[in-house]
């Protein structure tokens, strides 16, 4: 771990908040993609009998 | 094959299926490599100390925030002129990604600004233009959700996108228009005198590549989801009509 000196809080905060936002966006996007794909598969299966 | 052929949803889905994991992998590698390089293996700046490490998040996020809006602008124009549904859905899919990038740029800028400028926020031309861009992203997403008829929603959001482009331009060039405010000039420049030092520049380029790939992967993934959601909506409507 590098010595961040007196700005350790600011640098950690920037990296921590960015990680939360990026990972949150990725997780939500992937989860919705999977949910919609499953629902569409079910709807197509009903349609095809 | 013409670019317009990808306006066909089936062809678009087929072409983008392998691209999403490839871009996702490139994004993961570049982000881990670039951020680790910048965080662990670059020195502190002689004036800004360790806060210079925030550049590896702030600059790529700000770049993508503006460029995401321009991508939405191009897609919106394609919708308005040629009425290709995939382009309207691609613009819709990009908005939450652009919103997140704008939020990261604003948050990391505030966290960086506090120790350097002595304030979290100032009504500086570039900061203010970025805040307005953030509000435009929120308005754009809200408008898509508020209008039930998909084509009307695409029309209205496309017009909103055209208007918001003024602030996307201002976000990038405000520091050139007004020689005032706290925010410095562009960090990246072809002029070696004003460009950041090489020791920060190369890891920054890797991080930018990571953010670009992440944006591409997420927009393609989300566009594919929007196309599926549109198809699902149609099938459910048909089921309801058949039941009635």
Q: Residue B200 in contact with residue B59, Cβ under 8 Å?
A: no
pTM of the model: 0.92
Contact between A11 and B107 using a beta-carbon 8 Å cutoff: no
Which among B51, B225, B238 has the least Cβ separation from residue A7?
B51
- The per-residue pLDDT for range B126-184, each reduced to its tens digit, is 888 899 999 999 999 999 999 999 999 999 999 999 998 987 887 777 666 666 666 76
What ipTM was predicted for this assembly?
A: 0.94
Residues in chain A closer than 8 A to B107 (CB atoms):
14, 17-18, 21
Cα(B41)–Cα(B195) distance, rounded to whole angstroms? 20
Q: What is the DSSP letter of B51?
A: G
> Where are chain B's structural domains?
19-182+198-243
Q: What is the DSSP letter of B44?
A: P
Q: Which of B162, B141, B137 is nearest to B78 (CA)?
A: B162
In this structure, chain A runs to a length of: 49
Q: Which residue of B225, B233, B240, B243 to mutate against A (max A Cβ within 10 Å)?
A: B225
Identify the pLDDT of residue B121: 92
Interface of A with B (CB under 8 A): 2-8, 10-11, 13-15, 17-18, 21-22, 24-26, 29-30, 32-33, 36-37, 39-40, 43-44, 46-47
Helices vs. strands in chain B: H and E counts, helices first: 7, 0
Q: Residue B55 in contact with residue B187, Cβ under 8 Å?
A: yes
- The per-residue pLDDT for range B52-63, each reduced to its tens digit, is 999 999 999 999
List, in order, residues 6 or more apart from B111 with CB less than 8 Å away: A10, A13, A14, A17, B54, B120
Chain B CA closest to residue A20: B104
Cα(B220)–Cα(B234) distance, rounded to whole angstroms? 21
Contact between B107 and A4 using a beta-carbon 8 Å cutoff: no
**Min CA distance, B110 vs chain A (Å)?**
9
In this structure, chain B runs to a length of: 244
Q: Is the dihedral of CA B115, B184, B205, B47 positive or negative?
A: negative
**Min CA distance, B18 vs chain A (Å)?**
15
Residues in chain B closer than 8 A to A39 (CB atoms):
232
- The per-residue pLDDT for range B207-218, each reduced to its tens digit, is 999 999 999 999
Chain B CA closest to residue A21: B100
Q: Average pLDDT in the B101-129 region?
A: 92
Q: Classify B49 as helix, strand or coil.
A: strand
Structural tokens at position B54: 């925030």
Cα(B149)–Cα(B168) distance, rounded to whole angstroms? 27
> Where are chain A's structural domains?
21-49
Identify the pLDDT of residue B2: 73
Q: Residue B121 in contact with residue B113, Cβ under 8 Å?
A: yes
């Amino acid at each position: 771990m590098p010595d961040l000196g007196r700005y350790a809080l600011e640098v950690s905060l920037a990296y921590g908040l960015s990680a939360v936002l990026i990972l949150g966006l990725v997780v939500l996007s992937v989860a919705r993609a999977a949910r919609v794909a499953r629902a569409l598969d079910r709807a197509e299966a009903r349609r095809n009998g | 094959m013409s670019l317009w052929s990808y306006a066909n949803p089936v062809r678009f889905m087929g072409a983008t299926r392998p691209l999403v994991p490839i871009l996702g992998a490139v994004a993961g590698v570049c982000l881990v490599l670039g951020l680790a390089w910048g965080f662990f293996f670059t020195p502190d700046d002689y004036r800004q100390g360790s806060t210079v490490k925030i550049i590896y998040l702030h600059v790529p996020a700000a770049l993508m925030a503006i460029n995401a809006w321009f991508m939405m602008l191009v897609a919106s124009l394609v919708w308005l002129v040629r009425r290709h549904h995939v382009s309207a859905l691609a613009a819709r899919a990009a908005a939450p990604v652009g919103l997140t990038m704008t939020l990261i740029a604003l948050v990391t800028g505030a966290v960086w600004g506090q120790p350097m400028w002595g304030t979290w926020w100032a009504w500086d031309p570039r900061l203010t233009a970025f805040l307005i861009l953030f509000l435009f992203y929120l308005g754009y997403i809200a408008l898509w959700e508020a209008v039930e008829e998909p084509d009307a929603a695409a029309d209205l959001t496309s017009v909103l996108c055209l208007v918001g482009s003024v602030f996307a331009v201002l976000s990038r060039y405000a520091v050139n228009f007004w020689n005032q405010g706290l925010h410095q000039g562009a960090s990246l420049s072809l002029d070696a005198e004003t460009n950041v030092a090489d020791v920060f520049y190369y890891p920054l380029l890797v991080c930018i590549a990571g953010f670009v790939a992440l944006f591409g992967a997420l927009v393609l993934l989300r566009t594919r989801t929007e196309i599926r959601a549109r198809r699902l909506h149609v099938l459910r409507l048909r089921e309801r009509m058949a039941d009635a």
